[in-house]
Amino acid sequence: MPFACIHVLNFILQSALRIEPGLRAQAAGILDGNPPFVTVIARNKKAGSLGLQIGMTKSQAEQIQGLQLRRRSIEHETAAHAALVDLALSFSPRIEETAADTIILDLAGLAQLFGGFEKLAQRLGRRAKKFGLSAQVAVGSNPEAAQLAARGFAGVTVLAADEEMERLGSLPVIALNPSFEIRETLERWGVRTCRALAALPVAQLSERLGQEGVRLQELARGASGRALIPTIAAMEFEEAMELDTAVSELEPLSFLLGRLLDQLCGRLSARALATNEIRLRMELEPGEEEIFGIAGKRQNRVYSQSSTTADSSSRRESGAPRNDNGGDRGDANRQSGTRHPERAGLRPAPTNAEVNRAEPDATVLIYEHVLRLPLAMRDSKALLRLWRLHLEAHPPASPIVKITMTAEPAKVRFAQSGLFVPLSPDPEKLEITMARTGHSVGAANIGSPELLDTHRPLSFRVGRFNPLEASLPANDSGESSVSSGVSLRIAESASLLPATALRVFRPAMPAKVEARDNSRDTTHETMNKVHAPARVYFGGVWGDVMAASGPWRSSGDWWTEDPWNQDEWDLEIEFPVPAAKETNAFSRTAFSHAAQKAESTRARGVYRIVRERASGEWFVRGVYD
Amino acid sequence: MVACGIPEIDHLTGGLPRGCLTEISGPIGSGRTSLLVSLLSALTKREESCALVDGRDSFDPCGAEEAGVVLGRLLLVRCTNIEQALRAADLLLHGGGFGLVALDLSDLPIASVRRVPLNVWFRFRRMVENTPTVFMLLEQESCAKTCASLVLRLEMKMARWRSSFKSGNDGNSQPTLLSGLQFNAEVVRCRFERAKSEDGSPGGLASFNSAASDFAAVDSYEGTRCSFESKPAWTELTKKRRKNSEA
């Protein structure tokens, strides 16, 4: 049964280079240890040529010109190891996490799939490069042989079953990683290669070195019988980056985010997954700073919740004043037909957490946000655009010193397109379009209108626009399935009359009304009587009511703090037209119509007018258009 | 071409052209919103996604749903000024994939709409060209000039009222119900040819002539008029309730 081993040489350095690819072309070294005992623990060839040695102190290393030094990062190494696991899992479901820098794969049944072990090993190497890791790959008949070859030989090595002993024989005994005592003993015997160790008689070797010696000889012969210890891979996708210099501008930040997203999307792609939720957590530099155009103040040990409505993926629950009752703005709440969302028991849904807070037990500030997507995607560029838009709208309060990005895995969306599939925007493109539009008009003002479960007039909220999930009303589904994809015939619509649409005034316009008994509606007694309006005043002009329909009385929510109780009228109103006069107020009424028609001296329109029964106030709710 | 769901308008224009800018102009109360809602209803029922950029936040989703609009397929952008509306329309057209993008500038002051440079409309026209999107512009006065392939002018003709019940003895009850509104429509500009029915009379869906899509206007239908009527949503609701009770 063949096995492959992927081994990343100089793993500590490579995990740093994976996050910071620009260092590959430079002389770089990794430092570790607690001050003042900080020493060099890894370096690349260029650094070696400049004279950097493993074990040098930080001060010694810093004296070398042109050297890039980085601190060792456990996060980088963890992410690199996770990437290695994802890489292995994209080839075989049975893998073993032998070490942080070594993964062994069970290749049973994969030879035919990939056209032979040679090609498979080469593909493993190429895929590792895509992940930002330069790996040595070897294929052997058992896990230990594959591991030994991967650690010992550069590039891609495929060991045939009959030549394993010969090929491994050229490796030094140290490659077997013997204990110090055994290494000394073998050194005294003059046994320096695996070939020499394999040639020793087993019984005598056992007498002198014990079972450990026998095990080492088996390894040297490439004849280990060890079974693979399969790993159950965790579905965790997290990438982190610690910054030596705090980032305080959006451009470099988006560059770093792009790198993290590339890594995350690559890993997700390797596991045939996508994500519908990405969490960004950034550690901010403490102190008062002016960055991203916003003055940030240190929030000393105080948690502060920032707005959650700005996120494009949140489902807004009438949190903003515009989101219910037809989106009446704050001043519209004077009309009792409208209501406060809080009073109505509707609370904003904190679906997207965005926190700009101070850790209670530390001095670091944390910026945290979750980007939720309506569909799973793994296009790093699209995701980066979404993050950019969010960060432009909600910049962090201080420079950033550490970035952690976590993706929640989700199944990839498959879509079968066809000739007769109705027109719909590409979901990923739509997400960006909505985010950009939301950035322009406010995220709370874009989405799909959803009617609220209430009889209150004009109640709706703006929800998430997701045409893929939108379903037709039950009675319409039949028609749509027939007519989808082809032009609607005129004959189909011939029997239908269009509905008269109401154009709503937000906020509702206050009005004065004279009833038919010629009394102004100013007293409460008069208001409680139902008189048809005879004249209406709004927009600065009195108009005559030519026809009226009403009152249509409705009320509700009397058990809450924000009830409504009103009479609605449909009125056909005729206004005298001021010659060539047009103001903003007039533009909302029929005057603007008449202003354009110089020959007309009267303008008519059908309006919906509401009387609040509690207060007796009149409002123009809208016009039939 | 897309039928807007109002037979008279469809007969008059032959349908609204895809990949073109269509202007619907008229004063407040002239039936522009009814035409828009009818088109939204027709398209969303065919499972097409539509976008409405509401320049003054005056859209009524409750009425739209009663008129048959599938709200889940409607992307509503609520703007507060013309800059936001133009920017949103630009982004939506750029994003693509919508069956209809409607830019409603009806409630904005005419002066501010007039101030929009012509190159904005030209840009919109170029963006929507060769796409299956109907780009509809609603306003009080036509302002896109030659960038519009179809310009319809609407105005209110009359309101229909009918007696629904006898007048009460106290004289306070209202003996009328709003039973519908009648509108006039006129083709101000048309840049495409309309197909004729088999018998030679106009009435088929229009065939868009791409060669005439530029500045060579086909003006044979300009100036033609029609009237159409809309009914209040409650009439349909009453019918439905009656049907349900009978069932």
CB contact under 8 A, B62 and A436: no
Of A300-314, A451-465, A489-503, which range is least confident? A300-314
State residue B96's pLDDT score.
86
Residues A80 and A214 sit within 8 Å (Cβ to Cβ) = no
**What's the burial of A146, exposed, middle or buried (CB within 10 Å: 0-12/13-18/19+)?**
buried
CA nearest neighbour of A371 among A361, A362, A384, A360: A384
Identify the bridge partners of residue A156 per DSSP, sorted by sequence position: A137
State residue A580's pLDDT score.
46
To which H or E segment does residue A535 belong?
Answer: strand A533-538
DSSP string covering B230-243: EB-HHHHHHHHHHH
Residues B4 and B15 sit within 8 Å (Cβ to Cβ) = yes
Residue in chain A closest to B161 (alpha carbons) equals A547
Give the mean pLDDT per block of 10 residues along chain B (247 residues).
Answer: 84 86 90 92 90 92 89 92 92 90 91 90 91 92 87 88 56 66 87 58 43 42 77 70 72
Q: B203: distance to nearest CA of chain A, Å?
A: 8
Residue in chain A closest to B35 (alpha carbons) equals A498
Q: B94: distance to nearest CA of chain A, Å?
A: 8
Residues of A in contact with B174 (CB under 8 A): 532, 548-551
B198 Cβ contact list (under 8 Å, min separation 6): none
CB contact under 8 A, A622 and B58: yes
Model confidence at A596: pLDDT above 90: no
pLDDT of A383-421, one tens digit each?
Answer: 999 999 889 888 888 889 899 999 999 988 777 767 777
Q: A607: distance to nearest CA of chain B, Å?
A: 9
CB contact under 8 A, A448 and B62: no
Model confidence at A30: pLDDT above 60: yes
Q: B173: distance to nearest CA of chain A, Å?
A: 8
Task: Determine the Cα–Cα distance for residues A391 and A278; give it in Å rounded to an integer.
Answer: 14
Task: Determine the Cα–Cα distance for residues A228 and A152; give it in Å rounded to an integer.
Answer: 20
Q: Which of residues 557-586 of A touch B (CB under 8 A)?
A: 570, 572, 582, 584
- Banded pLDDT at A102 (limits 50, 70, 90): very high
Residues of A in contact with B228 (CB under 8 A): 498
Which tokens is B4 given? 């807007």
A255 Cβ contact list (under 8 Å, min separation 6): none
B244 Cβ contact list (under 8 Å, min separation 6): none
CB contact under 8 A, A497 and B31: no
Q: A411: distance to nearest CA of chain B, Å?
A: 24
Residues of A in contact with B78 (CB under 8 A): 322, 327, 441, 445-446, 462
Residues of B in contact with A460 (CB under 8 A): 61-62
CA nearest neighbour of A94 among A232, A224, A227: A232
State residue A398's pLDDT score.
86
Best residue of A315, A446, A486, A490 to probe chain B, by most B CBs closer than 10 Å: A490
pLDDT of A494-550, one tens digit each?
Answer: 446 788 889 999 889 999 998 876 545 444 444 445 678 888 998 888 888 888 887
Of A153-157, A310-314, A390-394, B134-138, which range is least confident? A310-314
The pTM of the full predicted model, rounded to 2 decimals, is 0.67
Using CB atoms, pick whichever of B2, B141, B230 lies closest to residue A596.
Answer: B141
Give the ipTM: 0.85
Mean model confidence pLDDT for chain B = 80
Mean local confidence (pLDDT), A372-387? 88
- Banded pLDDT at A480 (limits 50, 70, 90): very low
State residue A496's pLDDT score.
63
Residues A460 and A452 sit within 8 Å (Cβ to Cβ) = yes
Which percentage of chain A shows pLDDT scores above 70?
76
Mean local confidence (pLDDT), A163-188? 89
Q: Write down all domains in chain A, each with its CATH number in brackets.
A: 3-161 (3.30.70.270), 237-440 (3.30.1490.100), 502-624 (no CATH)
Cis bond upstream, residue A578 (ω within 30): no
- Banded pLDDT at A137 (limits 50, 70, 90): very high
Task: Determine the Cα–Cα distance for residues B142 and B121; give it in Å rounded to an integer.
Answer: 11
Residue in chain B closest to A594 (alpha carbons) equals B27
Residue in chain A closest to B75 (alpha carbons) equals A448
Burial A121-140 (b: 16+ CB within 10 A, else e): bbbbbebbeebbbbbbbbbb
Rg for chain B (alpha carbons), in Å? 19
Q: Between B130 and A364, where is the model more confident?
A: B130
CA A517 to chain CA mean position, Å: 64
pLDDT of A238-291, one tens digit each?
Answer: 998 888 888 888 899 999 999 999 989 988 988 889 998 999 999 988 765 545
Where residue A306 falls (left for φ over 0; alpha for ψ -120 to 50; beta otherwise) is beta
What CATH number was assigned to the domain covering residues B7-165+172-246? 3.40.50.300
Of A46-50, A422-426, A536-540, which range is least confident? A422-426
Residues of B in contact with A327 (CB under 8 A): 57, 78
Mean local confidence (pLDDT), A420-424? 73
Mean local confidence (pLDDT), A600-625? 86
Residues of A in contact with B2 (CB under 8 A): 487-488
